[in-house]
Amino acid sequence: RNYRSIAIDGPSGAGKSTLARLAAQALGFLYVDTGAIYRSVGLIALRAGLSPGDGDAVAALLPGIHLELCHGKDGLQRMYVNGEDVTGELRRPEVSSYASGVSAIPGVRAFLLDMQRDIAQKNDVVMDGRDIGTVVLPRADVKVFLSASPEERAARRFEELKARGDGSSYGEVLAQIELRDKNDSSRQVAPLKAAEDAVFLDTTGLPLEESLARLLRIIRGKL
Ligand code: C5P
């Protein structure tokens, strides 16, 4: 059978992971958070004491890494690195910076490409990331580019971090978001960019339910 795929791309904090997960639940599709995969590689580089910009050293770690995604009944994705559940560590701001750094390394992107495609070949998926519609699943049935203003994205991420007990200020979170936007959009390999056939959805000022309703309308209109 032919599996269906929905690609959701956009910058950090645009609400991709929450919206993609809820949309997947509504459609009965598997939700795949590709940011968590890059974050896992970032965490490994961080633990190894490497600089995220040291492409050769990070690439040298890859053959020894076994990454696994597991999905619970709640639709939440957990990440395992060589059998260890690292999910709880992935949203730390330090890991975010490392993820952004290692994601610019061509060897890292190539290493993760097959893994992402493989999942989409075996499941109906809603996959969120930066290059899903452009590189990973260029033939996705629906492509959505989700965005929101940097200030709104920083405010959301700030609330999320505060709820986790992280002490970062709003200013720090905004600066980090702007830096990641710049890194993600300007890198040579698979930069953050809307696919030509993507539908744009700007969630600035929209409550979650309204964003979800609009997203589902876009998806159902194309499936
Ligand atoms: O989406 P999330 O913020 O969890 O992603 C973490 C980092 O991983 C991003 O800043 C980006 O650099 C990288 N990433 C990527 N390609 C993807 C998903 C994430 O480069 N498909």
- State both tokens at 121: 């070949």
Binding-site residues, ligand 1, Cβ < 6 A: 12, 34-35, 38-39, 99-100, 103, 129-132, 180, 184
Residue 54 vs residues 35, 46, 118, 155: alpha-carbon distances, Å: 20, 11, 28, 31
> What pLDDT does 98 receive?
96
> What pLDDT does 12 receive?
85
> What pLDDT does 118 receive?
96
Q: What is the mean pLDDT of residues 25-40?
A: 97
- Is 80 exceeded by the pLDDT of residue 108? yes
Among 56, 3, 62, smallest CA distance to 28 is for: 3
Asked if 1 and 165 touch (Cβ cutoff 8 Å), the reply is: no
Q: What is the ipTM of this complex?
A: 0.98
Asked if 201 and 145 touch (Cβ cutoff 8 Å), the reply is: yes
- Is 90 exceeded by the pLDDT of residue 72? no
3-state secondary structure of 145: strand
Which residue of 130, 183, 189 sits with most ligand 1 atoms within 8 Å of its CB, as the best mutation to test the pocket? Answer: 130
Asked if 104 and 38 touch (Cβ cutoff 8 Å), the reply is: no
Our separate counts of H helices and E strands in the chain read 8, 8
